Structure 1
Amino acid sequence: MILPSLLIIDDFIADPLAARTAALALNYDPDNKHGNYPGHISTKPLDIQGLNERVSTIINAPVKAAPDTSHGHCRVTLKGDKGRSGVHIDPAFYSGILYLSLSEHCKGGTEFFRHKRTGLERVPTDPAAIAKAGYSDINALIEDVVNKDTTHPAKWMKVMTVPMRFNRLILFSPWMFHNSGMAFGTTPEDGRLVNLMFFAKG
């Protein structure tokens, strides 16, 4: 099964203002933070009716929520918020980000990178490509490329930014090297507000 590397779907939710209001009403308790990301994540997910079914149709593969991830949760990132990691991959079968910041506030987006030393733009998943990159197995590659260089911006070259747009959904391979774009705003109402999606095979 070959999935699209990247898809951009605009105007994804029929009533995005209602979804945004619901997202802003969630609890973003700082004590709930359990990852290396910048900003704060909601303690509960945002309910988007029929999400798994719609995404399954879009990518022509059945998906469900990936266990032990923040699938469906929202994240608020304000100017000055810092994380403990940078370029990364996701622990999922497929990833998604729904932008819920209003268009007049949107800045940046989601950034994708090439690893300078290896020339890779993603973690290859077939043994031949892994061997060609000089590694014995996928875990060795992830450790030497992603984990080793995640916090070293000079090790990466940005190849693309998918711009933020209110009610834009991007779906992409979790193996692609990526990172969130710039943080902005001073309150959740004018900051970077996104809904995170991490899918497992359905």
Structure 2
Amino acid sequence: MLPSLIVLDDFLADPHAARRRALALDYDPKFKRGNYPGLLSTNPLPIQGLEASVSKIVGRPVAPAPDTTHNHCRLTLKADKGKSGVHVDPCFYSGILYLSLDEHCRGGTDFFRHRRTGLDAVPGDPARIAATGYADANALIEDVVNRDTTNAARWERTTRVPMRFNRLILFKPWQFHNAGPGFGSSPETGRLVHLMFFAAG
């Protein structure tokens, strides 16, 4: 069984080089996809051996998930606002590598329980979904996640993984989660992360 959450510090051997490469990417507002706050890099930032390393860590082979922003970076400043909040990731497994320096880091990644239903994730099999009263996963996501995504009163935070430079978190993507708020006033001081979306290998 895949772990729900893994936190690994000091993941990259040379994180400052990765940070420099991430800051050198283009963050064109026209390339933005989705309702998240901040900007997405127009090009990916490949990390050599990433899939092999993550496969070893989780004990299952993984590969880049198609049609996702796997290996792209996201930059979010204090003034950036989005139209979505708590969400799930439609993939096999997710990861976030923090590339903000420790002196700039604020918040992190938060995980939630939905107050009305008591759920903290989309159940992984049809029988468990049926037990919630929903016909299928899409109906549950629409009524719980999409409906209440930005309504803070509908959610109870259960876990916060604080940001730390060169910290990697890996987690089951169907858990209800959200990024902490953006911070900083420039790319050098903002919330800078490397995004990972894996398919089963």
TM bin, normalised by shorter chain, reads over 0.9
Matched residue, 1:119: 118
Matched residue, 1:101: 100
Give the counterpart letter for 2:59 in structure 1.
N
Percent identical pairs in the alignment equals 69
CA distance in 2, matches of 1:196, 1:126: 26
CA distance in 2, matches of 1:121, 1:172: 13
CA distance in 2, matches of 1:41, 1:137: 31
Give the counterpart letter for 1:139 in structure 2.
N
SS at match of 1:110: strand
CA distance in 2, matches of 1:100, 1:62: 25
Matched residue, 1:45: 44
Q: Does 1:16 align with 2:37?
A: no
CA apart distance, 1:128: 2.3
Give the counterpart letter for 1:122 in structure 2.
A
User: How many pairs does the alignment contain?
Assistant: 201
CA distance in 1, matches of 2:168, 2:4: 14
Aligned-residue CA RMSD (Å): 0.8
Matched residue, 1:132: 131
Pairwise mapping of residues 58-69 of structure 1 onto structure 2 (< 5 A)? 58-69=57-68
Pairwise mapping of residues 188-199 of structure 1 onto structure 2 (< 5 A)? 188-199=187-198
Give the counterpart letter for 2:178 in structure 1.
N
Give the counterpart letter for 1:197 in structure 2.
M
CA apart distance, 1:123: 0.5
After TM superposition, the structure 1 stretch with the greater mean CA deviation from structure 2, 134-143 or 112-121, is 134-143
Give me the TM-score of the superposition, normalised by structure 2: 0.98
CA distance in 2, matches of 1:91, 1:175: 7
CA distance in 2, matches of 1:34, 1:182: 18
Matched residue, 1:163: 162
CA apart distance, 1:192: 0.3
CA distance in 2, matches of 1:28, 1:34: 12
CA apart distance, 1:151: 2.0
Unaligned runs of 5+ in 1: none
Matched residue, 1:183: 182
CA apart distance, 1:127: 2.0
